[in-house]
Structures are given as C-alpha cells and as structure tokens.
Amino acid sequence: MPEPTAPDLSCLPLFASLSPEALQRIQARLTFCQIPADHELFKLGERAGLFAIVESGLVCLEGADGVLRTVEPGGSFGEAMLRYGVPSVFAAHTLTPATLWALSHADWVSLREEPLPEKSELPLPPVNQQSVSELGAEAPVPVPVASSQTANSSPHRTRLGKWAFLLGALVLIVLIAGPLLATSGSAWLALRALDAHQPDVAVSVLRLALALQPNSAMLNDTYGYLLFRQGELQPAQIQFERALYLDPELASALNNLGVTLLAQGQSKQAVQQLRSASVLDPGNAMLVQNLGDAYLASGDLESAMAAYQNAFTLDPTLQTARSRWAILALGHADLEAARQAWLEVIDANPQDAEAQLGLGVIAWREGRPAAAVQHLQSARQSDPGNPLTRLYLGLAWQAIGRPDKAVPEYEQALALSQDLAVQNLSREHLLELFESLDHPDLLQGAGLKGGEQQTAP
C-alpha cells in the first residue's frame, strides 16, 4: 500500500505567507488519520488543539447556534485552535469515512517563527457582483415572455392526466385558433407546468409547439427561459439568440440573453444586451435592475447606481435594487443616503438580512457599537451563515467590552468565509483578544469550557 502524500500547505490561506523552509517543517509534523463514519472528533468548547485538512470524505461542523457546515475534500477546520489553543466554537464529526491530515497546536507553536502580517483594512459590505451574491441577494432575473407574473407564481401540484389533456388541447388550438393564439397559449401552458414543478411536461409542451411553429420568436424565448431555470446556460443562450434572430426587437429575449451572459461571467456583453432591452421596454423595473447587476459586474459602479435608482423609482417595491444601491452609496461614504435606503427596505421587511447588516455597518462606522449589535443580531438571525455579519458583530461586541461574545463571532467568521480580508481580520482580532486576556477561561461566558489539550485523532 503506497504511503499517503501530504497536501501542499502553500495553497491554504493560513500557510500562504510562510517561507518554503517553514512549510517543510510544518508538513513534516502532519499526522495522517483514517476516521470511520459518524465518529466524533471533538465537542463544542473542547480544547482539541487540532487543525485538520480533509483529504477524503465529509466532516460536519456544528456551531453553538445550530448552524451546520460541511467540510469537503480540500477544506480545513480548526485554525483558531491551532494558532491560539482556544476552545472550539463548534463540534465536529465525520459524516462518511474520512482521511485527514492533522496538526497540533503544540507543533504549531514550536514551529511558527514568522511575524504576523500587517493589520488588514476593515471590509465594507460587498460592492462587486460575486460578493453581492454571497450576501444572499437575488440573482438577475430572466423574464418569461408570456406573463410577467409567471416566474413568481406559487408552486402547486397537478395530475399528469391534466397535462395530457392540455397537450391535446394545444394541438386543437393550433388546428382551430391559428398560430398566434397557439403561440401565447403554448408559452403560458409551459410556464404553468414549470411553476408546478413539472419541467418534463413544460419541455414536452414547448417541443411540440416548436415542432409546429419553429419560427416563433416567443416560443424560442420561452424555451430558453425554461432551460435557464434548469441551469442549462449554453443551450438557453442558443435559444435566446435564435429568438432574437427571428425578432431582433423582442425585449424579453434581449433581457434573458443578457442575464444568461452575466451568469456565465460575460458582463460587458450582458451590458450591451440589457441596454438594448431597456430601450425597447424602458418601464420594466426588473430589466433595469438586471442592467444594474451587469454594470456592477463590469466594474462600472456609477452606472450601476443610476440603474438601481431607476429600477426602484419605477417600482418602489423592488427592494433588492434599493439595497444594492445602498451598498454602493456606503462605498462612496454617503452614510445618510445608504441609511435612508436601508430603512425603507426594513420598513417593508424587518427581517431583511442585507439591510440589517448594512445598518449595523453604518452604526459601527459612526462609533455606535451598541446600536450596531442590535442590527447585526437581527441580520445573523435571518442569515446565520454570512461571515461578514459575524465579523462586524465580533467587532461591535469587542468595542463594548464583551470579548466573551466577540470571540465566537470571529471564530464563525473564520470558519464560514472564503474571503481573505475577512479571514485575516478575524485572525488578527482573535489574536489581539487572546493576547490581552491573562486567563483564557474568561471566555466561558461564551458557553465554552476549558479542558486539557487533546492529541490529534
């Protein structure tokens, strides 16, 4: 049986700043572990002194608030325990048989010699398209050509016999009523099937309709929308392009093509399509919001702000556009404008996590940590998996003299985030807290209990 090969530590953020010599020394101390399924690695609050890299299998981490995180091959956990020897803020167990590479806190302390990096700057709520998606905001929205309300219809179940009957009715519509009514009827029927969680029926309807009317721009656009909803972006793009070949001024197809291009990372091409769509349908607020998303992804923040403002002016209920505009206003240090926008979002939905996070950040920047805690706790309750909320909540608790509450938030930010800025700040503030505490057991106020340092499993 071949010897297992230790992972390349330089690929992990924790070790990226170390010299090659230090990496070699640490790699030599790694312990290879084979763990059965459903095996407890350590409990919440235990001083396991363990950092582990998952080579195979799945490991589940459960925080004190019940939030679950699955660590897949290539992932790691236990960084704060490794660096600072602190109690764990999550429990860990294997979901499947797993192999791990483990490093102990004692080995880290004996090997670590390089100085810590300079203090990182505090991140704002995201102002780029990828980070907006991480905040939990809705993605750009394709528009079904048959009905602007279809995409938001509530799902319901129907019997297969009903759809067979409606398919037959479609054929009769084509034969009796003619192509125009058949086109709109086919699109409507397919979208109804899609909303009823019957994608196979929707595909059958549209394929039959397209076999009868292959040159219908509306049907090609609707079929592309169906493919987009199923995650088939390239086939969807082909259908939208065919729809526009048949009708170059079909605004919904231009919008849908733009959204599809944006989903594939082609932001500049998306801007072109969405601009054309907005000229043909200037009163469509959702289309204008999509244009704002494309500007945002392409780095044109001024145009993105203008588009978002236009969108929620056209439709005051479009809170996603208002919230994204507020994020950009905050990036311009216009705190009052951002505050008023987020207050309007909160007025419509008090549980909006993005708006509560934004108001918490504003309160923090204004030197009002107690007010920040209130907003950030609301944001955490609505979206417990957002690492930026956890980071700012840790900062707010630390500012009002509650390190026992700050530490678990920094730990969660570190565990949840893939963003280097958030990870670095969480590490720095954790180190600052642990260096300032003469007695780590003071952290028991966070529900953590000390114990003897454990060896790696």
- By DSSP bridging, strand 98-104 and strand 50-56 are antiparallel
Q: Quote the pLDDT of residue 79.
A: 77
Q: What is the DSSP letter of 98?
A: E
The answer to the question of residue 358 being in a domain is: no
Tell me the CATH number at 31.
Answer: 2.60.120.10
Letter string b/e over residues 125-138, b meaning 16 or more CB atoms within 10 A of that residue's CB: bbbebebbebbebe
Residue 81: which pLDDT band, with cuts at 50, 70 and 90? confident
The answer to the question of residue 50 being in a domain is: yes
Domain that holds residue 49: 9-111
The answer to the question of residue 121 being in a domain is: no
- Cα separation, 349 vs 342, in Å, equals 10
pLDDT digits (tens, 9 = 90+) for 311-326: 999 999 989 899 999 9
The answer to the question of residue 87 being in a domain is: yes
Number of domains in the chain: 1
- By DSSP bridging, strand 98-104 and strand 68-71 are unpaired
The answer to the question of residue 101 being in a domain is: yes
Q: Letter for the amino acid at 264?
A: Q
pLDDT digits (tens, 9 = 90+) for 91-122: 899 999 999 998 887 777 676 544 434 444 45
Other Cβ atoms less than 10 A from the Cβ of 206: the count is 26
Q: Are 67 and 384 in contact (CB under 8 A)?
A: yes
The answer to the question of residue 36 being in a domain is: yes
- Please say whether the dihedral angle defined by the alpha carbons of residues 165, 166, 171 and 176, taken in this order, is positive or negative: positive
pLDDT digits (tens, 9 = 90+) for 138-175: 344 454 433 333 233 333 333 434 444 444 444 444 44
Q: Quote the pLDDT of residue 368.
A: 92
The answer to the question of residue 265 being in a domain is: no
- Least-confidence region, from 169-173, 187-191, 435-439: 169-173
| Mean pLDDT, rounded, of the chain | 76
Q: Quote the pLDDT of residue 373.
A: 93
Q: Are 438 and 83 in contact (CB under 8 A)?
A: no
What three-state secondary structure class fits 371? helix
The structure tokens 């390239």 sit at: 234
What three-state secondary structure class fits 51? strand
The answer to the question of residue 342 being in a domain is: no
DSSP H or E run through 55:
strand 50-56
Max alpha carbon distance in the chain (Å)?
A: 86
Percentage of the chain with pLDDT > 90? 29
Q: Quote the pLDDT of residue 310.
A: 93
Q: Quote the pLDDT of residue 168.
A: 47
Burial level of 60, CB count in 10 A (0-12/13-18/19+)? middle
DSSP states along 111-149: H--SPPPPPPPPPPSP-SHHHHHHTTPPPP----SS-TT
- List, in sequence order, every residue forming a beta bridge with 53; answer none if it has no partner: 76, 101
Instruction: Name every residue whose Cβ is closer than 8 Å to that of residue 266 and which is 6 or more positions away in sequence.
Output: none
The structure tokens 């072109």 sit at: 272
Q: In 72-218, at which residue ranges do the beta strands (DSSP E only) sit? A: 76-77, 90-94, 98-104
Q: What is the DSSP letter of 33?
A: E
